[in-house]
Structure 1
């Protein structure tokens, strides 16, 4: 930096990310999930973003629909958010976005200026506060993985089956790179979030193609390349591409409901370190920088019994992970900055218009276990148990774990994914939309304003931990 301003584009040098003067830069920050790529557990809707939007459009009509979503996108991240973020000593915001902001499926290749204006506004807020940004394509045509956050609406990643989808993603990145080339506040481009290619090799070929395409218009910015199978598997990666940082995601099962809880024991600390080292083995071998693009526990709501004890364990888990990253100078981006209360550094107030209107729906959704990232399924597991038993009875045992991504997902996980997280969630989209019926434009703006910085609650314990790490290291 020069006089508090970023004056040079970052680049890769050996195992480090460096600025124009050759000084090492460790990126530390959070992702702006839920904004330009909406996710069910972040804002409280069910299913996939495209389903949520379609249901609201039908209930509200185009004019009110635009009022609500324009307000939501405007309020979710403002200069006040960027200022607060920088005040903690953090230096980088990862900006996830959905391709649908930039391109219509019925008119592919014709780019929507409104999407670029929205992205520009977020980048400008960060620039004004001296923050780097990583531009992250979180959802591509066809979906690059089987989960809700790729917004495919189904449980199959069609992106890997159709060259047309891959070509569209590459062409979009060329357009993005044309617009941001030379911008020193852009730390780099994250071309594909959490890819899940069942054959593993198509991802490698895609990276080779997209690296060449982006470099043809922007030879300078770093590319942040996620590993396969949700950024955790680099076994098929055999070579490195120039000026690229390889990205892993390091969620720990000990930070989630219905799992063994972190207790700070030698065994648990060893488990965390082994998991991390397995994911970064490729980076160690190739002697390239490491970026942990996502990690972080899920916290209990204050309304849940025993939340204080549970959350203390999860804060301790986070501190141990940060200590591991500090040993190797790992750059990281925690998931996430803002939500309704599961993981965010900020969360929507329980006294907000959002919770007053949608609280009953969100509680019902949590009880039904339709969000994988939300509460556990203990209240409905008995309903799905006979279905799972039926599958085990009729599917030969040697085939139980052949469906990708196994062993990450067992057969029961696939059943939950299709029945609850896809089918039931889609039906619940219609129910949520009805809560908006008859709302005036002012009421819709008030609902959207629940996500404004000044109306949100800061998760103090989490932010103190992040601030200490940002200052200490």
Structure 2
């Protein structure tokens, strides 16, 4: 039976498996970051999405702004029929869809849902279904900011979602809205209520998950919930909630520019990955539940970097090793990410497109200043920030610093977050917006079209690895 001819049934959690009609199914796919939840390193702007959008609205004017993002342009071109067909051609069967709450409601008008807020989500879910691809809806940006990083689009370094209950109440209302709309849709594998929530007290996260599970189930009793946390710390979690999959995110330190050494498969490197994964999934194994790795994947060097081919061969080796661990664990996974401008994507925007040619000088400046957090190379700014980091460490007691959340962050991470990724980026976002000044609608459409499938380059080695792994499983239960 082909996936499009199967009987209408929901995926369910049964013991250690996700199942379809009682038969185990392993979900393998990618995250569609940069689309309904944009991120600076994925599409090239500095800082936070809402700041970038505000700057572009001022520069373009409301009419052109709406045209560029919404009316048959950027959001349309970013994922189309050809993209769904390509994902299916690799043997992948799931796409995680990060979304920003601002598509559904405004901070100035909370709890009033936009009449067209779901149209792009509907379109991609339907496209995926037609190609036998499940989707997981992921609230990547929640009101108030559920985590401390740029990708929740709060604009600061504090997760105020956990401080003000009203933010949590709004998120519950959003999920009731989504559940009402998608209940009955069996091609939606389930809902990921929060991406990487950073609750320093932990107990507030557990309370929220209990609330959101009850709220969603009251509207939609059938869909799986995919629950994750920041830093893979599930030590406070007790009995699992029903029909829920608990998630980890499994990025490798050997997959980044600041890796301690190239990955060569040495015994200590292999042991590191095994130990790291075992720690992250200890809770799932203890409760006898399924494992879902919601994010992982190396960052790749660009052709302008010295030794980029050698570096990337090492990164591909990391990926292959991680996939072998997931196969042994029968873990479902969603690699980060599908499409970008050249860091991690299974495909990336061609440098000869209008968007990349226009923003080339600005992207070089961003790289030189180490503005973004992801895949950053700090070599050009070390002479500025090393003295500042040392000065702070000399004047702040270790006891106080160790209490700052998250505890795994060094002082340098907090400094870069607040100085470069927030303060500096807030100034640079206006410079980014000026590149779009006086563009006609035809020119804006050409810029948006740069992200269309036919204008992107496939990262062939990465896709070959994923296709080989996907071919080793029966991806859709017969």
TM-score normalized with structure 1 length: 0.98
- Per-residue CA deviation, residues 58-80 of structure 1 (Å, 9 max, x unaligned), is 11110111111121111000111
Aligned residues: 469
What does residue 193 of structure 1 align with? 195
- Give structure 1 regions of 4+ aligned residues with deviation exceeding 3 angstroms: 1-6
Q: In structure 1, how many angstroms separate the alpha carbons of the residues matched to 2:129 and 2:216? A: 23
Counterpart check, 1:350 vs 2:351: yes
What does residue 233 of structure 1 align with? 233
C-alpha contact (below 8 Å) 2:256/2:375 kept by paired residues: no
What does residue 340 of structure 1 align with? 341
What does residue 476 of structure 2 align with? none
What does residue 159 of structure 1 align with? 161
Q: In structure 2, how many angstroms separate the alpha carbons of the residues matched to 1:143 and 1:283? A: 26
What does residue 245 of structure 1 align with? 245
Q: In structure 2, how many angstroms separate the alpha carbons of the residues matched to 1:123 and 1:411? A: 42
C-alpha contact (below 8 Å) 2:56/2:436 kept by paired residues: yes
Structural mapping, 1:79-98, within 5 Å: 79-98=81-100
Q: In structure 2, how many angstroms separate the alpha carbons of the residues matched to 1:447 and 1:472? A: 39
What does residue 125 of structure 1 align with? 127
Unmatched runs of 5 consecutive residues or more in structure 2: 474-478
1:428 CA displacement: 0.7
What does residue 30 of structure 1 align with? 30
Moved more, 9-18 or 433-442: 433-442
Q: In structure 2, how many angstroms separate the alpha carbons of the residues matched to 1:370 and 1:253? A: 20
What does residue 378 of structure 2 align with? 377
What does residue 77 of structure 2 align with? 75
Q: Secondary structure at the match of 2:117?
A: helix
1:393 CA displacement: 2.4
1:398 CA displacement: 2.3
- Per-residue CA deviation, residues 219-265 of structure 1 (Å, 9 max, x unaligned), is 111000003x24x1101111100000001000011100022231211
Q: 2:216 aligns with which of 187, 207, 214?
A: 214
Structural mapping, 1:8-407, within 5 Å: 8-19=9-20, 21-70=21-70, 71-227=73-229, 229-230=230-231, 232-260=232-260, 261-406=262-407
Q: In structure 2, how many angstroms separate the alpha carbons of the residues matched to 1:267 and 1:123? A: 42
What does residue 465 of structure 1 align with? 465
1:274 CA displacement: 0.3
Q: In structure 2, how many angstroms separate the alpha carbons of the residues matched to 1:417 and 1:262? A: 28
- Per-residue CA deviation, residues 377-399 of structure 1 (Å, 9 max, x unaligned), is 11101111222122122212322
Q: In structure 2, how many angstroms separate the alpha carbons of the residues matched to 1:236 and 1:83? A: 41
Structural mapping, 1:2-13, within 5 Å: 4-6=4-6, 7-13=8-14
**Superposed CA RMSD:** 1.0
What does residue 453 of structure 1 align with? 453
C-alpha contact (below 8 Å) 2:4/2:130 kept by paired residues: no
1:2 CA displacement: 5.0
Moved more, 86-95 or 383-392: 383-392
- Per-residue CA deviation, residues 261-314 of structure 1 (Å, 9 max, x unaligned), is 312111101100100000000000000000000000000011111100000000
1:89 CA displacement: 0.4
C-alpha contact (below 8 Å) 1:366/1:374 kept by paired residues: no
C-alpha contact (below 8 Å) 2:98/2:140 kept by paired residues: yes
Q: Secondary structure at the match of 1:115?
A: coil
C-alpha contact (below 8 Å) 1:367/1:375 kept by paired residues: no
Q: In structure 2, how many angstroms separate the alpha carbons of the residues matched to 1:313 and 1:3? A: 36
Q: In structure 2, how many angstroms separate the alpha carbons of the residues matched to 1:36 and 1:3? A: 26
C-alpha contact (below 8 Å) 1:10/1:221 kept by paired residues: yes
